């Protein structure tokens, strides 16, 4: 099938092209993000392949349908940027990649955490400037600390496994607690307010929904243990950025590691090094020495990229052959 792949970078093209050797689809790569303004590029394609920050609202979907698109093959797990009910109303199918590599994201969460805990990001810059002093670099052991994991899906479970490997006590919160899983992995489900109050580290591993938007807000931040570290590798809008800035200013948080940001659209995945940063909230976050931000790269491993490409193209092939769409968003 002819597939219009939007918001592509070199790593997307390489992974999809390699995986496509066994599928034989016709791939066309566009650097532009998929929006109402760029939907016309999909003319002549039955399939579009967007990424996480492409905006498929009702207007975009109407234009895609008008030019012949009938399948949206999202190469990501989250689908909050797609108006799924409108797509269904138009008769368009939406498929996703639900579990491309839980280990990639969970490991990145701990990469952020370890950098913050041991201040390696600051030490790296000091040494490059010839400063070998250790003042201000005192960290703490993860061993024996309490890690709170909100969301115990596949990524959350991978994070719990890593935390247990460090010798941490793990508390968890999930809409659908699995007591058998908790017993097998050695963690405990507790009410969210208990998790926040007792955890030295809080790590978010859940999807963005209307109910989870700004899950971390002024009230929940106030309920966190003083000096705790917050890690978010899931979706930016799980965290109220203004409330986060206030908590950092007051010294309540010991550190923040973000791989996602609620206003990342138009900023992340781009090289803006020669331009002034227009986002005042992001600029403010970057001034804090105990904040570490990466630009949504938790998925960026060879293994995860290969799995994403394989599942994306497999979804398209299933649609083409009329098979059941195992990864359809319903």
Q: Do residues 326 and 99 lie in contact, with contact meaning Cβ atoms separated by under 8 Å?
A: no
Q: What average pLDDT does range 261-282 have in this prediction?
A: 91
Give the catalytic positions in this structure. Answer: 235, 264, 296
Taking the C-alpha atoms of residue 314 and residue 20, their distance in angstroms, rounded to an integer, is 9
CA dihedral 32, 34, 37, 43 (to 10 degrees): 100
Using one digit for the tens of pLDDT, what is the confidence trace for 77-129? 889 899 999 999 999 999 999 878 899 999 999 999 999 999 999 999 999 99
Residue 292 has pLDDT above 90, yes or no: yes
Q: To 10 degrees, what angle do helices 154-165 and 102-118 make?
A: 40
pLDDT in tens, 121-178: 999 999 999 999 999 999 999 999 999 999 999 999 999 999 999 999 999 999 999 9
Q: Global pTM?
A: 0.91
Q: Radius of gyration (Cα) for the chain, nearest Å?
A: 21
Say what the pLDDT of residue 203 is: 98
Percent residues over pLDDT 90 in the chain: 94
Report the alpha-carbon distance of residue 97 to residue 318 in Å, rounded: 13
> Is 75 a residue whose pLDDT tops 90?
yes
Phi then psi for residue 194, to 5 deg, are: -70, -45
Residue 52 is predicted with a pLDDT of 87
The per-residue pLDDT for range 229-249, each reduced to its tens digit, is 999 999 999 999 999 999 999
- If you search the block for the tokens 């899906």, which residue do you land on? 153
Q: How far apart are CA 215 and CA 231, in angstroms?
A: 13
What domains can you pick out in the chain, each with its CATH number?
Answer: 2-100+301-320 (3.40.50.720), 102-293 (3.40.50.720)
| Strand ordering across the sheet containing 93-95 | 26-29, 2-5, 47-49, 71-73, 93-95
Q: What are the phi and psi torsion angles at 296 (to 5°)?
A: 60, 55
Summarize pLDDT for 196-216 with one digit per residue, the tens: 999 999 999 999 999 999 999
Q: How many Å separate Cα 160 from the centre of its chain? A: 17
Q: What is the DSSP string of 168-188?
A: -EEEEE-SS--HHHHHHHT-E
Beta bridge partners of 188: 171
Per residue in 12-47, pLDDT (tens digit) is 999 999 999 999 999 999 999 999 999 999 999 999
CA distance 86 to 311: 24
Q: What percent of the chain has pLDDT over 70?
A: 100
Q: How far apart are CA 327 and CA 330, in angstroms?
A: 9
Would you list the DSSP string of 86-129? Answer: HHHHHT-EEE--TTS-HHHHHHHHHHHHHHHHHTHHHHHHHHHT
């Amino acid at each position: 099938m002819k597939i219009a792949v939007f918001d592509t970078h070199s790593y997307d093209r390489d992974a999809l092209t390699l995986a496509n050797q066994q599928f034989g689809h016709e791939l066309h790569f566009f650097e532009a993000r998929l929006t109402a303004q760029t939907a016309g590029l999909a003319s002549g394609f039955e399939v579009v392949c967007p990424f996480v920050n492409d905006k498929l609202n009702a207007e975009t979907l109407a234009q895609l349908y008008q030019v012949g698109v009938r399948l949206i093959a999202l190469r990501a797990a989250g689908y909050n940027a797609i108006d799924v009910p409108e797509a269904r109303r138009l008769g368009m199918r939406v498929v996703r990649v639900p579990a491309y590599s839980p280990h990639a994201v969970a490991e990145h969460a701990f990469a952020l955490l370890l950098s913050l805990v041991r201040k390696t990001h600051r030490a790296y810059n000091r040494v490059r400037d010839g400063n070998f002093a250790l003042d201000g670099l005192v960290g703490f052991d993860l061993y024996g600390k309490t890690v709170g994991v909100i969301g115990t899906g596949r990524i959350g479970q991978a994070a719990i496994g890593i935390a247990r490997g460090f010798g941490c006590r793990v508390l968890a919160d999930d809409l659908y607690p699995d007591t058998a899983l908790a017993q097998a992995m050695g963690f405990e489900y507790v009410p969210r307010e208990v998790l926040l109050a007792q955890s030295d580290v809080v790590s978010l591993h859940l999807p963005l929904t209307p109910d989870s938007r700004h899950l971390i807000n002024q009230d929940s931040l106030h309920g966190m243990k003083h000096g705790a570290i917050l890690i978010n590798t899931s979706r930016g809008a799980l965290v109220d950025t203004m409330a986060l800035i206030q908590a950092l200013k007051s010294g309540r948080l010991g550190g923040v590691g973000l791989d996602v940001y609620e206003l990342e659209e138009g900023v992340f995945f781009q090289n803006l090094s020669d331009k002034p940063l227009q986002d005042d909230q992001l600029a403010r976050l970057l001034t804090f020495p105990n904040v570490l931000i990466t630009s949504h790269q938790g998925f960026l491993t060879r293994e995860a990229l290969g799995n994403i490409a394989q599942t994306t193209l497999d979804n398209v092939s299933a649609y083409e052959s009329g098979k059941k769409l195992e990864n359809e968003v319903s």
